[in-house]
Structure 1
């Protein structure tokens, strides 16, 4: 019988140890919740508050203090807390629907983050999860700075879009104002050159008239390029699809470029037969893109050089390649040539005329068709520019 008391004593000691361990665990848990860098709250299966940290109390402010003071057992009901917190910021007729939505989200507690704004406290990203026992643990992170940055970026983007629309409107209006007098200048210079108002005796006068005419055409082309680029960037440039023969397009392109290449002393040739297909695309834009690329190749080619054009069809699509024997492009500058007004940073290119809009416009025209433009080049060894059009634009001839 003397040994019968030992189990009871051992049980008593075990209970005391368990109680101490539980007390230590509870202390660690409270400290962990308190030290969390954001609001934390734990609610039981009946949506009654079990534990929270000071940041959670601070977020809910006076609403939390009023409910805590009115509670007989210190427990706060989640719906009551939402009602008190939302009373000052939600319209009375919408209050009950707001509370129902919040309670439903609390009970779902699926771990999906939710961003919520608390007046005078800021924005918080809240994540709630349900424990196996049915309790709901909620964790929040202050994202006020992130929201403010996002808002500033959104405002900047909206301002940039508004400025871009204003720019496009200005250019569209100014294009008419500029083109009308330019056409008059070009027409008058051509009439004077042709001797419509009498023969031009002085050769210097004839050269001056030629300079005026050429400058007028150059400025008119520049205005058209800028307007096209502005329309593409503003998303107001229409695509007019039509089916046309690729051979006809290439023939027209080479014919239009022949005078320029002859003046530069550059041979222009077709490399291989043209694939007998038809293309369903905006003919004018594809033609303009190809002319811009050919014009660039001719301009950057030395006298006596050759620029070749080829067309290839494979399982990936239609490929139109322009190859020159010009100065070439350093790999670090290839992206630069597709930027509006971008020019090569090379001494050899300084004497070449142009505003740097040809390739950017070509790329945007091809982008509108779902295609791409590739560039392969080495300094001093020429450049190859390839237009890749998707296969769905190609029709059998």
Structure 2
């Protein structure tokens, strides 16, 4: 019995240490205080090893949050850079088509001018081009005093000259478009590599947290206990830990439909560039949730969704945010690195970062933009 009491005391000490240290920003609700074992008459002094483990979990969780946020920002930048590269490539293809068309027109005009010149040569009027060259007269200047055949020759020459000029300009524009496309592709590749590196670092940090949590659960020996799960530093929250009076759980408004859909996706993995049905990134979740409610909020980009709301006059002060509204996060400069769905009661639904899953969490105020997007 003494051995069992000591084991229960150690478990209570571990859980108490984790709660005293505080849950990081990712936890969804303050965990309930554990009920002491009837056989324990006084709160035992935390074991140094237990406390050290709890401290290590908190520190690792903070690293995981930081690296996850970094990966999230890098992912949004990669999104935007890829879109810019695609636009530049499309512009290059259009410029190339214009250059090809101009070249074809120049070739036709050259062929026509050559044919007319040959005809003039056969009719003893082949001195016209020489006159244009030696006397410095323009084709337009001699056009009025020439016969119909001669006029045809000058007109052909004019068409050829203009076609050559158009071709040169088209080639110049093609060159400009090619330079822009190359620069955009380079930037996109760089952003993609930065995202891959950040994602790898975030995944490594998450593995460190999971290993420490596994060690904690082994010491607790009671991971099936709801109190232990809710109090487990950095663990995935469960529904029992969340407030139940969600204002968006009833009704048929756009906001309620958005929240209900997003809630149904909780637990699905974060995958960069994904918009369902089995995985999401942050802007993919918001895009699909609103699409399911019959509302278009722009493209697959947190920044683009914010700008669309701003352009449409759909931004509202945070104090007026309703369930279903979008919340945005930025580190300055006008670009958004994260977007979430406000769920009411101070909670939001988000696809947070690589290695995580769609979840419900308290609204974080750090980097939070002062306006929410109220679509529909």
**Fold in common (TM above 0.5):** no
* TM-score where L is the length of structure 2: 0.28
* TM-score where L is the length of structure 1: 0.27
User: Which structure's residues are more often helix, by fraction?
Assistant: 2
Q: Max radius of gyration: which structure? A: 1
Greater relative contact order (Cα < 8 A, sep 6+): 2
User: Which structure's residues are more often strand, by fraction?
Assistant: 1
